[in-house]
Amino acid sequence: MKISQLLYILLALPVGLRAQVPRSAPPPRAANVQLTLLTRYTGKDIRLRWAPNRAGAWSLLNRAGYVVERFELDANGNKTNLRKLSVQPIKPEPLEQWARFAKAPQNENALIAAQAIYGKSFATKTTTLDAKADELTNRYSFTLLAADLSFEAAQAAGLGIIDPSVQLGRKYFYRLYAAQKLVNYAPVDTTLAIVDTRNIEQLPRPVWQQPNEGELHVDLLWNKSTHQNAFTAYYLERSPDGRTYQRLNQKPYINMDSEAEDKPDFIYTDSLKANYQPFYYRLVGISAFGEESTPSEPVKAMARDRTPPRAPFDVKAKSLGGKRVEITWNTTPEADLAGFYVGRSQNSLENFKPLITKPLFANSRRFIDENAEIDTTNYYLIIAVDTAQNAAASLSAYSIIIDSLPPSKPTGLTARIDKKGIVKLRWNKNPERDVKGYVVLYANQRDHFFTTAVKRAIRDTLFTDTLQLWTLTEKIYYQVKAVDKNDNTSGASNILEVGKPDIVPPSSPLFSGYEIQPKGVLLKWVGSTSKDVVQHRIYRKDPNEKSFQELTTALPNAPKTYFDASVRANTSYQYLIEAEDDANLLSVPSPVLTINVPDYTARAGTLNLRAQYNTAKKQVEINWQNPTVPNAYIVVYRAENGGAFTTLGTATKGVSQYQDQSVKPRVSYEYTTRVFYADGQSSPFGAVVQLTF
């Protein structure tokens, strides 16, 4: 912590307020006095500056004195060559020795320190009781300030010393402590510092912030955090041409404004006689050793006109029909008046937006708004601007516009419907600000008349409708209209088609017949009559199964037959069929169809089939031997020239011959037979005989 930082804390408040800092009661015994030690290597010698952190300790140490010891540090960091920098404890010089400063009035800081240390009284301009009670703190504070601004004053005040016997390239270890224990006061801690003479620390160069250019003044700014650890005070310099500079402050500038403590920048105000006369400014920092830094880079600034013109008055707004509004006003003529801007808002006090990008001429007193808002209020104000871009705004004026235009039609209509028939409609909010609500309409057909679903316009963009699902119509259609505050109604939104959830199962299909064949069972059915059927499901159960198992599915427009080739002989099967619609609803199953599958493998056919052409009768005579089975009949089949067999005729029970009278010469014929039994079963086809004549 810099010595001067403690001073800033004390001097940041006006003198009359410093009594608010706890000072009358001594600090707790457990809190030791801390010494702050600063060092600086100049290239020729090492300078040391120190101070205690309490006014009471400073007063006692002025009598006790300080001891400064120096060690050299070798390459391993070991301390060698102990030496005290003074034979006697370091104390303020006797009063008579301060007389030399009286002969050098330019070092007035030393005279201030002498008065603070030895003066019988040390009063400031503030003479309140609190200020007098704070005299010790003031003596302490001004002594530290004088020591910061003048190293000679620091030496005379016993707060600084020069060590000239140092050599380049070595490290030195310094130790500072009280020459003796303070009576009836807290212990004083020892403080340490190391100086490496291989490096000469240069003072940093101050840096400006961007200045504020005001009316007949310039505020010069520089950052606190960047400078306050390096400098105690400052000189500010000004030049009209950037070459020859003069100091604005003859005494070092120290910021003592308590109201500016929380601000990030130091500030110095340069009052000027005229605007628009540019100057160059430089900043010089003063360290705690009284050294002045290299001046900062110059910054250019000037005072500017910050006085706005007089505000326009008598502003009036008149509707001209449609979106056109005429605005008129008056103003006080001024030499630097540049023109006017026109602003419009829906609020009489804020959020005004300019209607033009370039100002109207200074002699303008009228403006027409060609695109006023017809769906809300319109407030207007006039802003006068001068040549320096200072502005002044008038009071606002209100224009009434009769709204006869409907809002735009709503967009973004969507719907969600659940299985209970509850529909939630949503749509986008209209861009017009005067829309007071929306009307929802519905119809059962797209081309039907749409009926309102609400008694009055609703404000929200959400509407819930409940549908009756046990109806013949599968869809419903919706539209939405917007209504403004003047009851102007928009066109209807695009029609939204909403499919109702299907809760009615399809009608049941029925078996229409079946055929038992040697290789399986052919099932036939009549499909469901419902239009939304997507498939039929066929199920079968045999005696060994507890429930029906699905055999297959069939599309509604596929053939209404299915051949079950997986049946077993001498087994009874049960079949049923049901329909499924596009909502995955299933019909009531059909009545169960029971089929007993016989055993075809044991059925005997005819034997010894023969065929002979009778020339006289011009017919083929076919003979065979019947199986010994009662009530069976034989079917005779014929094929021509290697073609497919077709039924030729039937022989009644017990007959074993058949005459084919429809034959032709030079045609190759083939004949075979099949036996059909009384229980509906049949034998396999018999032997085939061929005949050509």
Q: Give the pLDDT score at 259.
A: 56
Degrees to nearest 5, angle at CA 87 with 81 and 91:
125
Secondary structure (3-state) at 240? coil
508-to-31, 200, 561, 582 alpha-carbon distances in Å: 101, 106, 16, 15
Q: What order of strands is seen across the sheet that includes strand 212-214?
A: 212-214, 217-223, 265-271
Look at residue 19 and tell me whether its pLDDT is greater than 70. Answer: no
Q: Give the pLDDT score at 130.
A: 54
Which has more confidence, 577 or 692? Answer: 577
Secondary structure (3-state) at 58? helix
Secondary structure (3-state) at 224? helix
Which has more confidence, 23 or 37? Answer: 37
Secondary structure tally for the chain: helices H, strands E: 8, 43
The one-letter code for the residue type at 207 is V
Show the 3-state SS of 496-552. Answer: EEEECCCCCCCCCCEEEEEEEECCEEEEEEECCCCCCEEEEEEEEECCCCCCCEEEE
- Quick one: which of 375, 372, 331 has its CA closest to 355? 372
What confidence tier does 272 reach under pLDDT thresholds 50, 70, 90?
very high
Q: What share of the chain in percent tops pLDDT 90?
A: 63
- The tokens describing 457, both together, are 């316009």
566-to-103, 542, 548, 601 alpha-carbon distances in Å: 135, 11, 15, 16
- Reported as type and span, the H/E element at residue 604 is none
Average pLDDT over every residue of 117-126 = 74
Give the whole-angstrom CA distance, residue 40 versus residue 359: 61
Instruction: Note the pLDDT tens digit of each residue in 58-85.
Output: 999 999 999 999 999 998 889 999 999 9
Average pLDDT over every residue of 347-356 = 93
- Reported as type and span, the H/E element at residue 132 is helix 129-133
Look at residue 225 and tell me whether its pLDDT is greater than 50. Answer: yes
Cβ atoms 485, 436 nearer than 8 A: yes
Average pLDDT over every residue of 559-581 = 91
Residues 6 or more apart in contact with residue 42 via CB below 8 angstroms: 200
Q: Give the pLDDT score at 602.
A: 66
569-to-516, 572, 595 alpha-carbon distances in Å: 11, 9, 11
555-to-7, 30, 527, 528, 685 alpha-carbon distances in Å: 99, 99, 10, 11, 35
Instruction: Note the pLDDT tens digit of each residue in 372-383.
Output: 987 678 999 999
Give the whole-angstrom CA distance, residue 548 versus residue 586: 15
Cβ atoms 287, 232 nearer than 8 A: yes
Answer whether 0.85 is exceeded by the pTM. Answer: no
What confidence tier does 428 reach under pLDDT thresholds 50, 70, 90?
very high
- Quick one: which of 268, 209, 212 has its CA closest to 237? 268
